Amino acid sequence: MYRKNQKLTVFLFLLPSLLLFFGILIWPIIQSVHHSFYEYPAFNRAGQFVGFGNYVKLFSELYDFGLAIKNALILAALSVFIQLPLSLGLALMLGKGIKGERFYLSVYFMPVLISAVVIGMLWEKIYNPLYGLLTKSFEFFGWADVLPAAGVLGDKKTALMAVFIPTIWQYVGYHMLLMYAGVKGVSSELREAAKLDGATDGQVNRYVVIPCIKPIIQVSIIFAITGSLKSYDLIKVFAGDAYNCPYKVPSLMLVRYAFNNAGGVASAIAVMLIIMCFGFALLINWLFKERNPYGAK
């Protein structure tokens, strides 16, 4: 193919992407690292160098960043251990070849297209402790005492779950679609062979289909975890201007402090977020590399 004498051409081809990528993604990260070591008494005007002071501050009783991380991790864990199995279940059921499978698929996927802001506002109405759909239907069945009096979003025990449910509602369809494509991609000869050997449906799924779609599951897990760490829109709609919010997450804190003369703290949160996202992506890749008998894709 082409030789290396076309350095300039290569460069020109890459130029737009390089500019955008390094200017808008990498440079802000470097800046965030830099900002995170300074105090910002006013927006965009660096004050004293404080070293890791902002990071230490983050974990004080006041900012309570630990709670935000814990919440984000719980959301990530719920996504992986509840949302993905649910998606896998639906994908396997649909993948068997069922009447109207396109219809089911299309409906399940529909919520993915809706903006998280809309979903947040819709579910806020559903959760409304006085008139919401949830409240009213529990009242109808006479279970009103089951729901916390503070409303599911106001009670510390249920708040995180209440944030998680709309997320499942929205994204199960997405992960299901990915897995469904994988399930459909498993060659029919392979299934046939297993069937001929007397495997039941469950066994076919367990020993043939799931191992085959492992790469897709891996991608789903990465998307689910980084997605939970990034989630903002929905939670912002729920939280509004609340301080000391029981379901606060890092991104919520980041946006608040970025514009309230605490740029250093906001940058420290940004750095922590990046480290967490990278860390998880690497961790999952490594886990799958070790365990995947078919080798990495």
In the complex, minimum distance from the CB of residue 270 to another protein, in angstroms, rounded to a whole number: 4
Phi, psi at residue 247, to the nearest 5°? -115, 30
- 201 binds another protein, rule: CB under 8 A: yes
If 0-12 CB within 10 Å is exposed, 13-18 middle and 19+ buried, where does residue 231 land? Answer: buried
Among 77, 133, 283, 287, the residue binding another protein under the rule CB under 8 A is 133
Considering only CA atoms, which of 46, 66, 21 is closest in space to residue 272?
66
Nearer to another protein, 48 or 106 (CB): 106
In whole angstroms, the minimum distance from the beta carbon of 15 to another protein comes to 8
Q: How far is the CB of 291 from another protein (least distance, A)?
A: 19
Residues whose CB falls within 8 Å of the CB of residue 143, separated by 6 or more in sequence, listed in order: none
Window 152-191: contact mask with another protein (x via CB under 8 A):
xxxxx------------x--xxx--xx--xx-xx-xx--x
Quick check: 48 binds another protein (CB under 8 A)? no
Asked if 233 interacts with another protein (CB under 8 A), we say: yes
Task: Report, in Å, the least distance between residue 71 CB and another protein.
Answer: 15
Is 195 an interacting residue with respect to another protein (CB under 8 A)?
yes
88 near another protein, judged by CB under 8 A: no
Considering the rule CB under 8 A, would residue 52 count as an interface residue with another protein? Answer: no
Question: Which residue reads 């990495």 in tokens?
Answer: 296
- Asked if 138 touches another protein (CB under 8 A), the answer is no
d(CA 148, CA 248): 19
Q: Which two tokens stand for residue 225?
A: 């975890």
DSSP letter assigned to residue 145: G
Question: Is residue 204 packed enough to be buried (19+ CB in 10 Å), middle (13-18) or exposed (0-12)?
Answer: buried
For 116, the token pair is 């998280």
CB of 253 to another protein, least distance (A): 10
Nearer to another protein, 58 or 182 (CB): 182
Under rule CB under 8 A, residue 146 binds another protein? no
Q: Choose one: 47-55, 76-84, 259-267, 286-294; the region binding another protein (CB under 8 A).
A: 259-267
Which range in 48-56, 73-81, 116-124, 288-296 contacts another protein by CB under 8 A?
116-124
Residue 136 sits in the site that holds another protein (CB under 8 A): yes
Question: How many residues sit close enough to another protein to count as binding (CB under 8 A)?
Answer: 132
Question: Is 232 among the residues that bind another protein (CB under 8 A)?
Answer: yes
Please identify, among the stretches 48-56, 76-84, 267-275, 288-296, the one whose residues bind another protein according to the rule CB under 8 A. Answer: 267-275
Amino acid at 125: K
Nearest CA to 177 out of 277, 90, 83, 69 is that of 90
Say whether residue 141 binds another protein (CB under 8 A). no
Say if CB 212 and CB 190 are below 8 A apart: yes
Amino acid type, 104: Y
Would you say 10 or 77 has its CB closer to another protein? 10
The beta-carbon contacts of 30-36 under 8 Å, at least 24 apart in sequence, are 31/267, 32/267, 32/270, 32/271, 32/274, 33/267, 33/271, 34/267, 35/263, 35/264, 35/266, 35/267, 36/264, 36/267, 36/268, 36/270, 36/271
Stretch that binds another protein, among 48-56, 75-83, 215-223, 288-296 (CB under 8 A): 215-223
